[in-house]
Structure 1
Amino acid sequence: MTVETESLTATFTALADPTRRAILARLTRGEATVGELAEPFDVSLPAISKHVKVLQKAGLIEQTRRAQWRSCRLRPEPLRDVVTWMEQYRAFLGDSFDRLDHYLTDLQKGERP
């Protein structure tokens, strides 16, 4: 497995969990401590810390230290890699939607495709 493939796998694994996706969504508004990230969830602080570690391992967030506070910050690079990977499927998806659109248009006109 290449480094690029391993990176994508780690990113998709991290994104597979809805709690981790919500954490990333929160971080789009700015840095937050683990305690702040935990506020909207009905789970323990250690559980949120585990989610943060998965996101960190995937490179999606980084933690910084200021005095006794640890802040989490979003790192966009792995998400850009996902977008780049998905670009190769854009033409296929576009063609599929075009075929579906034509099929549905023909059905509405009462024509048999």
Structure 2
Amino acid sequence: MGDPVGSLHQAYKALSPDGVVMVIEPMAGRKTEENFNPVGRVYSGASVLCCTPNAIASGPYALGTVASDDALAEVAGKAGFSSFTRVTETPFNRVFQGKK
């Protein structure tokens, strides 16, 4: 996504004062070493070949390969959210909640 801050800001504006947004991202470890598994390798490869080049080509902001929780929280903060936390995960996805 070329403008994750702008996209999340639009979601922020659409929420009621006590609203939350759910963000789903591909599974990734908090450290690079945690991605040394079959799922992490596929997602890292796809991110390098598809996601990051698309973000660079289509917008002002590229999170880079397999965005970390911290990078996503920073984007959510810039979009206006007061909190952004990982609330659950599966072997394939991380699920985050952003609160106004």
TM-score when normalising by structure 1? 0.29
Q: Which has the higher strand share?
A: 2
Higher relative contact order at CA 8 Å, sep ≥6: structure 1 or structure 2? 2
Answer with 1 or 2: which has the greater Rg.
1
TM-score when normalising by structure 2? 0.31
